[in-house]
Chains A and B, each alone.
Chain A
């Protein structure tokens, strides 16, 4: 009887291994440290989000090599600019991975007119200003945003140091960051993610995203 129990245990472990077998590399493969500065005017209206995305060291290294070997050294700066706008163009089609909510409606973004790609030591940083299509008056309601890659291939979290820049806020306004809360269902979904496939849940990355709330006292 003891043998039966042992067999059952061993077989169970193996079965479980086989069930999850086809799901390769479940964790995110690239990460980005965010630094976000909400920009407001004196009337407590939110105008847009100033964003700085610092790519992880591995991805930065690979990009830096591509930039440096992509042509003559004298035109390096132009190549940085070119890449910055290329990324912005691509991000435009995915809403800049930035989902804003105000009065239960998704916020609309305007055109990005400022973007730069800089090298910070061994890491690359993309900076751009994402303006709201229309300024939002934060007197009656607060504004929320989440920044995430829906496929969760990229993990995007606010930098632990100075991830939130409060210098652009009107007096009486407050920023608050909430870490994601995960349920076991979501964990299961995350585990089912293949590194090359997008999840069944098109918003999987959302569940791993931080939520930032901007509210003003009146």
Chain B
């Protein structure tokens, strides 16, 4: 796991260090240097006022815009010259597009990080979940375009417009996930209550800071079960409930993120297909998904680390850890629920209204 973390860090620092690695040949005239140059000089002026975060997000946005442009330039080039080199460059570009698109704001990451902050998932699971979600996102896009365009013979324009409906489905799942979390948090709060008076005292005295690495491994599941060894009843109920509920939750997490195809991927698929390069588009979409997975996994690691750290710190002081973590589940669930509802309402309200000119 440490190696994975190190690799991820290496990749991100590599990406940040080199703005357009390996792609010096993409048509420079498409880059609109005037604006970019203006922005960079301006950004140095406002550096004192603007927070680093804002700058970072804006930088990501600029990168997304750049990659969006160079993607289409690359597909044009590939259409004119179907060389292996052009194909590789397109795949590399798609991968980077995925990395940056995921680094920008998006609902998937909010759901994932909140989920991982509140759930007893381990690092490995967090990474697995994010990879599954991101890859599913790419596969959804491929299946969607394959079905609509190849299967039903829809126009590219119609296929692009259909994304709105699938988005709505994914937002519905986000809402559902939030609801699940809230329910589970409340359930967790109720039965554990009586044992609370004994347990925290015990753990506070027995776990000293030197034992911290051991307690790091403990998820709230195992905590709950150890707590419940005093009160037989909950011991049987909680772990099974948790694992059963977790699977459903994990599934709805993966689908709530993965069901929503990246609009960039759909665009690339539709465009390559129109040029008779369907399989290149499929590969590009998978590369994009891989890039997304990398960023999302990095976020997942951050979320899990944060939760573990918080747990370790709180444990040394707080006397109501179990209750607190259950409360956190409820709060996180509420956040995801609200996010899902607002996205759903927004998407239903605006569906179909967006057409150019």
- The answer to whether A14 and B306 touch (CB under 8 A), given A4-B313, A20-B105, A157-B35, is yes
For B50, list chain A residues within 8 Å (CB): 184, 187
For A58, list chain B residues within 8 Å (CB): 72, 267, 271
B-side binding surface: helix, strand, loop or mixed?
helix
With the chains together, A127 CA to B279 CA distance in Å?
35
A79 at the interface (CB under 8 A from B): no
- The answer to whether A61 and B313 touch (CB under 8 A), given A14-B302, A160-B29, is no
| Contact among A14, A25, A28, A197 for B117, CB-based, below 8 A | A14
Chain A: CB-nearest residue to B153: A69
| Contact among B61, B107, B302, B356 for A13, CB-based, below 8 A | B302
CB distance from B13 to the nearest CB of A (A): 15
- Quick check: which of A99-107, A133-141, A166-174, A188-196 contacts chain B, the rest being far away? A188-196
B257 at the interface (CB under 8 A from A): no
Docked complex: B28-83 residues within 8 A CB-CB of A: 29, 32-35, 37-39, 42, 46, 49-50, 53-54, 57-58, 61-62, 64-65, 68-69, 72-73, 75-76, 79
CB distance from B111 to the nearest CB of A (A): 8
CB distance from A119 to the nearest CB of B (A): 14
For A184, list chain B residues within 8 Å (CB): 46, 49-50, 54
B299 at the interface (CB under 8 A from A): yes
- The answer to whether A18 and B113 touch (CB under 8 A), given A10-B302, A58-B271, A87-B357, is yes
B289 at the interface (CB under 8 A from A): no
B42 near A196: Cβ-Cβ < 8 Å? no
With the chains together, A36 CA to B127 CA distance in Å?
51
With the chains together, A106 CA to B110 CA distance in Å?
43
A21 near B350: Cβ-Cβ < 8 Å? no
With the chains together, A197 CA to B274 CA distance in Å?
29
Chain B: CB-nearest residue to A57: B72
A196 near B347: Cβ-Cβ < 8 Å? yes
With the chains together, A161 CA to B46 CA distance in Å?
30
B346 near A191: Cβ-Cβ < 8 Å? no
Chain B: CB-nearest residue to A32: B356
Contact with B along A120-161 (1 / 0, CB 8 A): 001000000000000000000000000000000111010011
For B105, list chain A residues within 8 Å (CB): 17, 20-24, 26, 191
B271 near A22: Cβ-Cβ < 8 Å? no
B239 at the interface (CB under 8 A from A): no
B299 near A196: Cβ-Cβ < 8 Å? no
A90 at the interface (CB under 8 A from B): yes
With the chains together, A87 CA to B356 CA distance in Å?
9
B312 at the interface (CB under 8 A from A): yes
For B57, list chain A residues within 8 Å (CB): 20, 191
B196 at the interface (CB under 8 A from A): no
A191 near B58: Cβ-Cβ < 8 Å? yes
With the chains together, A9 CA to B312 CA distance in Å?
16
For B75, list chain A residues within 8 Å (CB): 57
A114 at the interface (CB under 8 A from B): no
A27 near B35: Cβ-Cβ < 8 Å? no
A109 at the interface (CB under 8 A from B): no
A197 near B350: Cβ-Cβ < 8 Å? yes
Chain B: CB-nearest residue to A151: B354
Chain A: CB-nearest residue to B113: A14
B157 near A65: Cβ-Cβ < 8 Å? yes
Chain A: CB-nearest residue to B104: A26
For B69, list chain A residues within 8 Å (CB): 31, 56
A179 near B35: Cβ-Cβ < 8 Å? yes
B68 near A27: Cβ-Cβ < 8 Å? yes
A160 near B350: Cβ-Cβ < 8 Å? no
- The answer to whether A22 and B107 touch (CB under 8 A), given A182-B39, A190-B61, is yes
Contact with A along B2-18 (1 / 0, CB 8 A): 00000000000000000
A66 at the interface (CB under 8 A from B): yes
With the chains together, A59 CA to B68 CA distance in Å?
12
- The answer to whether A21 and B346 touch (CB under 8 A), given A160-B29, A160-B32, A195-B263, is no
For B263, list chain A residues within 8 Å (CB): 25, 29, 195
A76 at the interface (CB under 8 A from B): no
For A190, list chain B residues within 8 Å (CB): 58, 61
CB distance from B155 to the nearest CB of A (A): 6
Starting from the known contacts A10-B309, A28-B65, A58-B271, 15 additional A-B residue pairs (CB-CB under 8 Å) come to: A6-B309, A14-B302, A17-B109, A22-B107, A27-B104, A29-B68, A29-B263, A57-B72, A122-B79, A179-B34, A181-B38, A182-B42, A184-B50, A190-B58, A197-B346
Instruction: List 24 A-B residue pairs with CB atoms under 8 Å apart, sorted by A's residue number.
Output: A3-B312, A11-B310, A14-B302, A14-B303, A17-B110, A21-B107, A26-B64, A29-B263, A62-B157, A63-B157, A65-B155, A65-B156, A65-B157, A69-B155, A122-B79, A153-B356, A179-B34, A179-B37, A180-B38, A182-B42, A184-B49, A188-B54, A194-B346, A196-B346
Give the B-binding residues of A (Cβ under 8 A): 3-4, 6-7, 10-11, 13-14, 16-18, 20-31, 56-59, 61-66, 69, 86-87, 90-91, 122, 153-155, 157, 160-161, 177, 179-184, 187-188, 190-191, 194-197, 208, 210
Q: Which 3 A-B pairs have the closest CB atoms?
A: A21-B110, A184-B50, A20-B105
